[in-house]
């Protein structure tokens, strides 16, 4: 291709043969299944795979239990992503991306397993439950977007600008705009290749971070006043009671990153009451493994980014989570002293 480096970028890891096999055919029916409240790594990878397979003559059905959030309305092909309650007909392959726990499909996994010959599970969460017929779980990848990029390249499918924008956005968001400790040389090589293939970094940043309305900025100001900090400054949290903010606003703002941005903070928590559940998002800065805190409450995630959903009153759950987080911070500090 003119004007492009002939040497392809290094991949995070080789693509296992068993992951390639289901896609090595010219036509087929694929189900691309997302989980609850799909983020950009979920949607970007499902849309990229859907667009790529359609270019190869496949028929793709894309959807999940919840619709795509408005902030991701710029993703190419996103209007194809539907709220699913039932599935039509048989599928040759069903693919779930970035979904560590099949319970997060709200039962759609059972329909997928009943109607698809092969279920492929592609993810980078270390605690993935390996629920597919084929499981490709690679925690070294900063985003599932890196893995789907590797898959498409290995399949020899051309990366169109639409596919590139989806995968670039997946990687951009899961790395906090290439700022987090999960970023590797492969992340930048793949991002460079995606930009060469037509992803526009300015367009993506603009769509993600420069489209607030004035009301949302004022709402952000009100929310930030609620951030609380422990006496030692190492734990910060933000509690949002039911109805205190709009869902659309929470989906558009990475609210947990604000308490995390305080210099002394080792663990940040966003604690939201929603539909009778309390949803917790946890962020760490490397010395405390927050996925272990999430596991204590039946959740999971990565060492620096994890979450869980807990039944109970907002006050009680908040107290419990903060107590476990404070202990984890203390233990991590003791461990580093004795090392
Ligand atoms: Mn991800």
Low-confidence winner among 4-8, 20-24, 63-67, 88-92 (lowest mean pLDDT): 4-8
pLDDT digits (tens, 9 = 90+) for 177-221: 999 989 999 999 999 999 999 999 999 999 999 999 999 999 999
- CA 210-306-203 angle, to 5 degrees, is 20
> Is 80 exceeded by the pLDDT of residue 128?
yes
Mean pLDDT, range 314-319, rounded to an integer = 97
Asked if 182 contacts 285 with a C-beta cutoff of 8 angstroms, the reply is: no
Distance of CA 13 from the midpoint of ligand 1 (Å)? 16
Predicted local distance difference test score (pLDDT) of residue 337: 87
pLDDT digits (tens, 9 = 90+) for 211-248: 999 999 999 999 999 999 999 999 999 999 999 999 88
Q: What is the pTM of this model?
A: 0.91
Topology, domain 214-338: Diaminopimelate Epimerase; Chain A, domain 1 (3.10.310)
Predicted local distance difference test score (pLDDT) of residue 8: 60
Provide the residue ranges of all domains of the chain, joining segments of one domain with +.
17-208, 214-338
Distance of CA 188 from the midpoint of ligand 1 (Å)? 16
Predicted local distance difference test score (pLDDT) of residue 9: 61
> Is 80 exceeded by the pLDDT of residue 5?
no
Rounded to 10°, the helix 144-154/185-196 angle is 60
What residues have their beta carbon closer than 5 A to ion ligand 1? 41, 98, 144, 174
Same fold, 17-208 and 214-338: no
Distance of CA 224 from the midpoint of ligand 1 (Å)? 26
Topology, domain 17-208: inorganic pyrophosphatase (n-terminal core) (3.90.1640)
Q: Indicate the SS3 state at residue 243.
A: coil
Predicted local distance difference test score (pLDDT) of residue 3: 44
Distance of CA 143 from the midpoint of ligand 1 (Å)? 5
Closest alpha carbon to 131 in 108, 113, 151, 150:
113
Predicted local distance difference test score (pLDDT) of residue 26: 87
What mean pLDDT, rounded, does the chain reach?
94
């Amino acid at each position: 291709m003119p004007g492009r480096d002939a040497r392809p970028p290094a991949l995070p890891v080789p693509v296992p043969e068993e992951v390639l096999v289901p896609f090595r055919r010219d036509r087929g029916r694929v189900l691309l299944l997302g989980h609850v409240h799909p983020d950009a790594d979920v949607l970007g990878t499902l849309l990229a795979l859907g667009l790529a397979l359609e270019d190869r003559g496949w028929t793709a059905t894309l959807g999940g239990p919840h619709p795509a959030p408005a902030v991701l309305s710029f993703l190419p092909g996103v209007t194809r992503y539907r709220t699913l309650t039932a599935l039509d007909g048989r599928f040759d392959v069903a693919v779930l991306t970035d979904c560590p726990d099949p319970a997060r499909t709200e039962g759609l996994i059972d329909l997928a397993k009943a109607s698809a010959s092969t279920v492929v599970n592609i993810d980078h969460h270390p605690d993935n439950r390996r629920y597919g017929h084929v499981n490709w779980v690679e925690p070294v990848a900063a985003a599932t977007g890196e893995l789907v990029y590797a898959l498409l390249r290995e399949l020899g499918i051309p990366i169109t600008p639409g596919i590139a924008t989806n995968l670039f956005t997946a990687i951009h968001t899961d790395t906090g705009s290439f700022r987090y400790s999960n970023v590797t040389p492969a992340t930048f090589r793949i991002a460079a290749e995606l930009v060469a293939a037509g992803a526009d970094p300015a367009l993506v940043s603009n769509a993600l971070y420069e489209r607030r309305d004035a009301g949302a900025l004022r709402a952000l100001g009100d929310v930030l006043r609620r951030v609380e900090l422990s006496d030692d400054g190492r734990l910060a949290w933000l509690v949002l009671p039911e109805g205190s903010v709009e869902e659309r606003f929470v989906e558009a703002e990475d609210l947990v990153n604000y308490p995390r941005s305080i210099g002394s903070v080792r663990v940040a928590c966003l604690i939201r009451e929603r539909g009778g559940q309390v949803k917790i998002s946890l962020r760490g800065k490397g010395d405390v493994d927050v996925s272990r805190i999430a596991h204590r409450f039946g959740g999971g995630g990565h060492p620096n980014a994890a979450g869980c959903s807990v039944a109970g009153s907002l006050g009680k759950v908040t107290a419990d989570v903060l107590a476990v987080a404070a202990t984890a911070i203390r233990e991590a500090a003791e461990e580093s002293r004795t090392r």
